[in-house]
Amino acid sequence: MKLLPTLLACTALAAPLLAAEKKPELRDAEAEYYRIVTLPTPPSVLLEAGALCFLGPDRLACATRFGDIWIADGVLAEPPAPKWKQFAGGLHEVLGLATKDGALYATQRGEITKITDDNGDGRGDTFATYGDGWGINGDYHEYAFGSKFDKDGNLWAVLCLTGSFTSDSVYRGWCVRITPDGKTIPTCSGVRSPSGIGMNADGAMFYTDNQGPWNGADALKELRPGAFMGNPSGFKWFDHPATKEAIAAAGMKKPAEPKSGSRMHDEAKRIPELMPPAIMFPYPEMGQSASGLVADSTGGKFGPFARQLFVGDQSHSTVMRVFLEKVNDRYQGACFPFREGFDSGSLGVEFASDGSLFVHGTDRGWGARGGKPFALQRLVWTGKTPFEIHEMRAKPDGFELTFTAAVDPQAAANPASYTLKTYTTIYQSSYGSPKVDETKPKITSVKVAPDGRSARLVIDALAEGHVHELHLPGVRSAEGKPLLHPDAYYTLNQIPGI
Amino acid sequence: MPNFRILRRAWTLLILIPALAGAAVDPGEILIAEMNCTACHTAAEPVKTRLATRQSPKLGADGVRVSPQWLRAFLENPQTEKPGTLMPDMLAALEPAQRAEAAEALTHYLMSKQPADTSVQAGASSATIKAGAALYHSVGCVACHAPFDLPKDAASTPALKDELAKLAAASVPLGDLAKKYTVSALAAFLRDPLKTRPSGRMPAHKLNEGASTAIAMYLLRAQVPAGEATKLGGLNYDFYDVSVPELPDFSRIAPTRSGTTATFSLSVAGKKNSYALQFRGNVAIPKEGEYTFHTESDDGSRLYIDEKEVVQNNGIHAAQENSGKVKLSAGDHTIRVVYFDGDGDSVLRVSWQGPGLAKQEIPAGVLSHEGQPMQPLGTAPFTVDLAKAARGRFAYEELQCAKCHGSLEQQWDKSPVVPQARALAQLTAKQPAGCLATKPKSGVPKFDLTDRQRVVILAQLGTQATLAEPLTTEQQITRTLTTLNCYACHARDRRGGVEGLRRDYLSSTGEVDLGDEGRIPPHLTGVGAKLKTEWLKSVLWKGGAVRPYMATRMPQFGEANVRALPELFATADLPQPPPAEPGPDEAAAKFGRKLVGVGGLTCIACHNFAGKPSLGIPALDISTSGERLRADRFRRYLIDPQALRPGTRMPSFWPNGVATNKDILAGDSEKQIAAIWAYLGKGKSADLPDGLVQGKQEIVAETEAVIYRHFIAGAGSRAIGVAYPEKANLAFDADQMRLALLWQGSFIDAAKHRTGRGTGDEAPLGHNVIKGPPGAPFAVLASETAAWPQEMGKGAGYKFLGYRLDAQRRPAFRYAIAGVEVEDFPSAVRGEVDAGLTRTITLRSAQPPATLYFRAARAERTIEAKDGAFLVDGKVRMKFPGAQPVVRSSEGKSELLVPVQFSNGAAKIVQEITW
C-alpha cells in the first residue's frame, strides 16, 4: 500500500502557526524600489480589464470582460488623470488586444475582430471578422486569449478546453494562429486552461497554463508550432473530419498518448512533440493562478531586468519575474517573487512607453487576495536598484547566479548560506499533483567572482526534470543587506552538457 | 481462493502498514470478532465488549428477502454461492444426499418465515439500467465492490483492463445476485441495508427509491428476458434534472433517468426542488361513464388520458387543484401525468371520481404498465411444504443457527440435544481442532480459512489474557475504520485512502471545477480536532453532509456500529486542555460579514453561502462552518490551508500570518479571523454578505442601438443581440448567419453573464419572442420545388464577415456565400403598440447565381393577404415591396421563398416584419 505523500505534512496539528513576531511587510520593502500607482477608471463602470494595448506613447486601449473597449489619453501623468472614452461595446469577453495600421484587433471568445474607426469620431464603426476558425459551444470555460502581432504579422490565440476535462468544440485545447490574410492555422495541441499569452524578448511565443488535469503545477510554456503542450483532451481534432486536413497541412501529426501517472520529463523523451514547461510555478509558493506575461523591452527604464519576463498571478494578486535561457534548444529557467499587493487578481501585464508596467486585475469568478473587484494599476521603478538575484543559469554541475549588486564574498561563498531541495509533479490525467520525488542535493562549493556580482554553485546531484528550489537566507550584499527576495525556483528539464 | 477476501483485506491493512505506536489491533482478534466465535464459545463481558463482535444478518419476518433457489444453493455450499461469505458451512460433514435434503428442509422453513413479496414487479428498462450503472460506479459502491466498467473517459487499453481484473480480485464479491433477489427486494435492501444486516459492513448510501431501483436493476441485469413485454403493476416514470419556469416539452428533452413506481410518487425524484417528472402507464376504468380527474400540484402539472389533455395545471404556484372530465369505456386507458417543481414546497396528488366512485386518490391497484418482467434466475413455482418446513425447523435448532441469526419462534416444540461448545477461555493455542480443523465433525461449523488465518487465530487464543483489557483509543479507532472499511475512502494518519484505479471512479457531480477536492473524500487525520463532536455524530448516523458536489456519498453505518467514534476522535486528536470555543460576538460578526463579501476578501467568489450559489465555483457552503468546525482548527486552516489540507485550492489570505486586507480591523490577522468566525457562527440566519445576490442588469438602448454579443438562448454561442431605441430587438446567429430571434420591449438581462464566471445562455427579457427560420438564409435551388438544403453556416460555405455600424450604431451584418456578398441591415420601425422591423438585404456578386432564393419563413401555414402581405402562422406579417415571393409546401411545412433577382451584379430584398 502506498503512503499518501500529501498527508505526511499533517501530523503536527497542534503547532502554533502564527509566529509571535510578524515579519515586516514584504510589500512595503518592495515599494521602495517599485511603487504602485492606481489609475482612476471611468465613473460607475466596472472596468474588469481583460486586455490592454498601447495606441500611442500615452494612449491606452483597455478591453473588458463585459465586452467594452475604452480608450484613455494621459495615462502616464502624475498624479494620474486619464481621459476615458468608450470606443466599442457589446463584444464577447475580450481577452486579447493588438493594434496595426490604426486598427484594433480584439480577441473575443468566438473570433478575432478587426475594428476600425472610419469617420474619426473616436468610436469603432466597422467590426470585421478577422479570424474565427475555432468552435465555441456556450460553456463559460471556453475562453480565448489573444496575443500581440508576432514578427511575421500573425496573431496567436490559445483556446481553453470546454471544461476541465473535455474538448467539445473545434480546436478547444489548442493554440491557433491567424495569418495576415486571415487564415486560421492549427499550431499546438495540448493546451488546458490558459490565462495569458505573449512573446519573450527573442520573439518566441509563450503562454501560461493552469494547474489541473495533466498539469501538475501552473506553468509557462513555449508555443512552438507543432508542439504538444501536455494535455491530450483535444487530440480528437487530429482525426476529426472538420479539422484533420488543416492539421495535416500545418505539418502536425498526432503525438503518442501520454501515460498518466508518469513524469513530464520521462514522457518528453518518449513523445518528441511534448513540450515540457519552461517554468513550473510551485503551487502555492509562487502563486495559484499564473496569468498574463510580457517581456521587459524597456531597455533599462524598468530597472535591471531587461529582457526578462514578468508574469501575473491572479489568485495571489502578484507579479512574478522569470529568467529564461535556452539549453539543448529548449527554454527553461527560474522564477522569482517580484511584487505583491495589487488591488485585484492580476490578469494581465503590459509595458508603457515610459518603462512602467501596467497591471490589470479582476476577481470575478476566481477569488484573489487583492480583494477589489477590478483594478488598473501601474508599477513604476523608483530608480533604486533592489538587491536581487539577477539571473540563474544551469551549469553541468550546478547553477550560476548573478546579482544586481556586489555580494559580501564571505557570506556568499559559504554553502551554509543556501538551502536547496528539488521536486517535480506527477504528470497525470487527474487534477493537479502534489510535489513528489523530493531530493536534497548538497551544495558542495560556492565560488564568488572577483567583482562579487556572481556566484557559482557546485551541486552534487542535479535532478533532471525537477524544480530546484533555492533559498539564500545567508547571502548579503557588500553593504550587508539581505536579498529582497531570497528565493528562486529553477525548472531543470535539461542539464547542460560540459 | 476467493474465501474471506474481506478479512484478508482488513488483515493485510493491519499487518503491512507501518502502524503508529499503539494503534494496531491483532489480526487474530479481528478474525475472532468478525467470525462471531463468541456466539458459541462463551466469553466474559469485558472480552465481549472489547471484541464488539459482528452481528449476523437477520432472518424471518424482518429479515433478508431472498429467492428460495438461491437460499437452497447457498445452504448447500455457502462459499460457492457467495465467495467470501463469513457464514460457515453447517452441512459440510453430511453425505451429498443428506446435505441436499437438509438444505431443502431449511429452505422451506426459512421461506415459511419470510413474508411474501407483494411489491410491484419490475419491468426492465434499459434507461434505468444505464442510470444504475452510472450510480453504481459513482456513489461509492466500487470503493469496496468490483467495478464492471472502466472509469468514465478512460481509454480501454489491455493494461487498464488488466488493472481492472486485479481490482476485481481485491474487492468484496457480490455473489450471484441475479439468482438471489428480485429488483424490489434488492432495491429495498440497498435503501436500508442495516435493517436486515445490522453489522453495517454494508452501509446505506442515502439512496432514494429511484436510485436504489436503478442500481438494483443494473446489478440484476442478467434477469432481463429476451421476450415480449407484458402487463405489470405500477407506472413507468421519467425523471428530468432541469430547472424550468413551466412544464417543459417532454418530447424534446431526454430524461436523466427512468424507472418504475407503484404510484404517482414524487419520492422517485430524489431531490427537493428543480426537476420535472413524467408518469406513464395505464389506468383500469372499472365501469363505463364520465370520469373527473384532478391534479393538485405545486408547481405545475398536466394529466392526459389516451394522450388527450384532461387536466391543465401548469405554471409556478402553491398547491392548487384543477380538474377535467372525460367519458371512458371500461378497461385499460393510457394515463400520463407530467409535473415540474421550481422551488419551495412540492406536491402532487392525482385523484379521480366516476360512476359509483367518490373522489379519491387513484389507487395503485388500478395502475399498470407494459414491461419485460424481471425475476430471479431459476425461478420455479415454490410453495412451502409444511412437512419439509417442520424438518427444517428442527434442523435450524439442531444446527444452532439461532446462535447467530436469532430464534424465529416464540418457543420450540421439543428441543433436540445439541452439543455445547467450550468457552473461549478454555480454547488453547494447540493444533487446530473443532471448527478450526480442516475437516470438522458433523454439526460443527466449517469456516473456509487459510492456514495463515488459522495461525493468527491460534496465536490470539494463546494470549487471551489481553482480550479482557480494553483497547486503547487509537486501537478502537483503527478497529472500527478497518472493519467498516472506512479506509477504502478516507486516510487517517498514514493508513488508508483511495488508491490506484479506484481513485479514477471518484467524480464530481456535473462540471463543478473543484479539482480533487470535489471528488476525493477528505482525510481524517486530526478529524477530532477539526470537527465538533455533534457534527461527527450527524455525519456518521444522521445523514449530515456538506459536499453536494461529490458524487461519492458518505454512507451511513448505523448508530450502533459507530456510536463511539465521535468521542474517540475527540480524545485522540484534541490537545489537552481543548482550545476554547469563543461565544457569539455580534460586534465582530459585522466585520466578518464585510470580510466574507465582495469588497472584503470575497470568500463568496468560490464558496456558496446559506444555500446561495457563490460567484464562481460551488465550493463548500461556509455558512455551515460554525455548526461543523472547531474554532481553533478554523483559525489554523485560514492561516495555512496547505498545511492542513495539502493540495487545496483555498488560498491563504494571511500568508505567514500577515493579513492581505489592510482596511478591515486595521489588518489585524487574529481579529479578522475571529470576526469571520463570529459571522459564520450565525449560520444560515446571518445577513447575507455583500455581492452574493446580484440584481438584474438590464441593458437598455436609450438613444442609439446597443450590441450584446454573448450566449443567447435560441441564437447560439456566437449570438449578436441588438436592441433598438424603438424597443424592437433581435438576435443574429453568427454561426448560421440567420436572424434567429425577434422580440419587443425589454432587451436582455446581463446579470447572469456578468456575475461569477458567467455560465449559460440568457433568454430575451422582453415579450412576443418569435423565431426566424432555421438553417441557411440563402440557397441555390435547382428548381422551385427542390428541398431547402440541410447544410448551414461554415458547413454550407458561409463566411461571416462582421458588421458595420451606421450613425445610430445600427449594425449591417455582412457575410458571404456562393460568391455573393450579403449585407443584412435591420432597422426598427415604431408601430401603434409595438415596434416592427424592416430588413434591407443587399447582395453583390461578380457572377450572380441564377436561382438564388431567400427563405423568409418556414411555418405550419402561410396565408397571402389582400394587401400583398403574408401572414405566417397567424402571428407574423411580412411584406416584400417590389418582390414576388412564393409560398410553397415542402417536407410537411409551408415555406415562404423570395427569388433573388440580380441586376448589374446587385440585388436588394426589403422585408417588412410586424408581429
How does DSSP assign A137-181, residue by residue? -S-TT--EEE----TTS-EEEEE--SSSS---STTTTEEEEE-TT
User: Which residues of B are less than 8 Å from A373 in CB distance?
Assistant: 598-599, 602, 691
Q: How far apart are CA B750 and CA B707, in angstroms?
A: 12
Residues of A in contact with B714 (CB under 8 A): none
**Contact at CB, B601 and A128, closer than 8 angstroms:** no
Residues B714 and B741: beta-carbon distance below 8 Å: yes
The pLDDT of residue B227 is: 67
pLDDT of residue B454: 86
Asked if pLDDT for residue A8 goes beyond 70, the answer is no
d(CA B17, CA A7): 15
**Residue located via cell numbers 378497461:** B331
- Spatial CB neighbours of A74, under 8 Å, sequence gap ≥ 6: A58, A80, A81, A82, A83
Nearest by CB: B717 against A23, A137, A163: A137
User: How far A181 CA sits from the closest chain B CA (Å)?
Assistant: 13
Q: In this structure, are residues A27 and A341 in contact, taking their beta carbons and an 8 Å threshold?
A: yes
pLDDT at residue B459, as a whole number = 86
Higher local confidence (pLDDT), B614 or A53: A53
Q: Give which of A119, A35, A218 is closest to B515, Cα–Cα.
A: A218
How many cross-chain Cβ pairs, A to B, lie less than 8 Å apart?
Answer: 196
Query: B370 with B261: CB under 8 angstroms?
Result: no
Which pLDDT belongs to residue B512? 73
Across chain B, which has 915 residues, the per-10-residue mean pLDDT values are: 37 40 76 92 92 93 94 94 90 92 96 82 77 92 94 84 90 93 94 95 89 92 80 89 86 81 90 91 93 95 90 90 93 93 90 94 92 88 93 92 90 69 84 83 86 86 86 93 93 89 88 84 96 97 92 94 97 93 92 92 93 89 96 96 90 90 93 97 90 85 96 96 97 97 94 87 91 96 94 94 98 96 97 91 96 96 93 94 95 95 96 96
CB-nearest partner of A92 from B643, B656, B710:
B710
Contact between A127 and B803 using a beta-carbon 8 Å cutoff: yes
CB contact under 8 A, B499 and A13: no
Contacts of B652 in chain A (CB under 8 A): 284
Give the residue from chain A lying closest to B159, CA to CA: A259
The Cα B651–Cα A287 span in angstroms is 9
Residue A9 CA: distances (Å) to CA of A82, A132, B637? 50, 48, 13
Q: Output the pTM of the full model.
A: 0.74
Task: Select the residue of A46, A288, A365 nearest B757 (Cβ to Cβ).
Answer: A365
Min Cα distance A23 → chain B (Å) is 8
The Cα of A349 is separated from the nearest Cα of chain B by a number of Å equal to: 21
Task: Flag whether pLDDT at A11 surpasses 70.
Answer: no
| C-alpha span between B635 and B581 (Å, rounded) | 11
The torsion angles phi and psi of A13, rounded to 5 degrees, stand at -75, -30
Instruction: Verify whether the Cβ–Cβ distance B646 to A7 is below 8 Å.
Output: yes
Task: Tell me whether residue B277 is exposed, middle or buried, using C-beta atoms within 10 angstroms of its C-beta: 0 to 12, 13 to 18, 19 or more.
Answer: buried
Residue B32: strand, helix, or coil: helix
Q: What is the pLDDT of residue A233?
A: 95
Of A9, A128, A315, the CB nearest to B646: A9
> Residue B7 and residue B172: Cα distance in Å, rounded?
10
- Residue with grid cell 499546438, as numbered in its chain: A188
**Rounded to whole angstroms, how far apart are CA atoms B613 and B625?**
16
CA distance A357 to A348: 10
Which residues on chain A are in Cβ contact (under 8 Å) with B497? 4, 7
Q: Looking at the partner chain, which of A19, A67, A140 has a beta carbon nearest the beta carbon of B757?
A: A140
DSSP assignments along A274-311, one per residue = B---SEEE-TTTT-SSEEEEEE--STTTT-S-TT-EEE
**Adjacent-strand bridge partners of B204:** B556
CA angle A395, A396, A398 (to 5 degrees): 55
- Report the 10 Å Cβ neighbour count for B758: 20
B539-567 per-residue burial string, b: 16 or more CB within 10 A, e: under 16: bbbeebebbebbbbbbbbbbeebbeebbe
Q: How far is A156 from chain B (nearest CA, A)?
A: 19
What distance lies between CA A76 and its chain's CA centroid?
Answer: 25
Across the interface, of A114, A125, A132, the residue whose CB is closest to B805 is: A125
Q: Quick check: B607 and B680 in contact, CB under 8 A?
A: no
Q: Are residues A371 and A343 in contact, defined by beta-carbon separation less than 8 angstroms?
A: yes
- Rounded to whole angstroms, the Cα distance separating B266 from B341 reads 10
Residue A95: closest CA among A9, A180, A208: A208
Question: Closest partner residue to B709 among A108, A124, A368, by Cβ?
Answer: A108
The answer to whether the beta carbons of residues A155 and A105 sit under 8 Å apart is yes
A13 with B526: Cβ contact below 8 A: yes
The answer to whether the CB atoms of B646 and A6 lie below 8 A apart is yes
Beta strand residue intervals within B103-210, DSSP E? 123-124
Rounded Cα–Cα distance for residues B626 and B639 (Å): 17
pLDDT digits (tens, 9 = 90+) for A249-296: 999 999 999 999 999 999 999 999 999 999 999 999 999 999 999 999
Contact status, residue A484 vs residue A30, Cβ threshold 8 Å: yes
* Alpha carbons A119 and A125: distance in angstroms, whole number: 8
Contact A366 B605 (CB under 8 A): yes
pLDDT, mean of residues A138-165: 94
Given an 8 Å threshold on Cβ–Cβ distance, is A92 in contact with B709?
yes
Cβ–Cβ gap B658/A25 under 8 Å? yes
**Amino acid letter, residue A248:** A
Asked if residues B226 and B243 have their Cβ atoms less than 8 Å apart, the reply is: no
Q: Which pLDDT score is estimated for B120?
A: 64
Q: What is the DSSP letter of B787?
A: P
Chain B partners within 8 Å of A126 (Cβ): 802-805
Nearest CA in chain A to B809: A125
Residue A332 CB neighbours (<10 A): 24
Query: In this complex, do A127 and B573 lie within 8 Å of one another by their Cβ atoms?
Result: no
pLDDT for B348-401, tens place per residue?
Answer: 999 999 999 999 999 999 999 888 888 899 988 899 999 999 999 999 998 999
Q: Indicate the SS3 state at residue B25.
A: coil
pLDDT band at A435 (very low <50, low <70, confident <90, very high): very high
**Interface contact flag, B651 A315, Cβ < 8 Å:** yes
Taking CA–CA distances from A433, the nearest residue in chain B reads B647
End-to-end CA distance of chain A: 42
- Taking an 8 Å cut-off on Cβ atoms, the answer to whether B513 and A164 are in contact is yes
Q: What is the pLDDT of residue B15?
A: 40
B709, B722, B735, B748: which to substitute to probe chain A, counting the most A Cβ within 10 Å? B709
CB contact under 8 A, B717 and A110: yes
The residue in chain B having the minimum alpha-carbon distance to the alpha carbon of residue A372 is B599
Q: Tell if the CB–CB gap between B606 and A367 is shorter than 8 Å.
A: yes
Average pLDDT, integer, range A298-305:
97
Task: Count CB atoms within 10 A of the CB of residue B463.
Answer: 12
ipTM above 0.85, yes or no: yes
Calculate how close chain A gets to B529, using CA atoms only, in Å: 8
B639–A18 C-beta distance less than 8 A: yes
- How far is residue B615's CA from residue B752's CA, in Å, rounded to a whole number? 10
Of B516, B602, B636, the CB nearest to A431: B516
pLDDT classification of A24: cutoffs 50, 70, 90: low
Q: With contacts defined as CB-CB under 8 Å, which chain A residues touch B761? A: 138
* Gap between the Cα atoms of B472 and B487, Å rounded: 19
Q: Picking from A142-151, A213-222, B643-652, which range would have the lowest pLDDT averaged per residue? A: B643-652
Q: How confident is the model at residue A439 (pLDDT cuts 50, 70, 90)?
A: very high
A1/B643 Cβ within 8 A: no
Taking the CA of residue B766 and the nearest CA in chain A, the distance in Å comes to 18
* DSSP assignment letter at B446: B
CB B471 within 8 A of CB B510: no
Distances (CA, A) of B248 to B343, B494, B635: 16, 51, 47
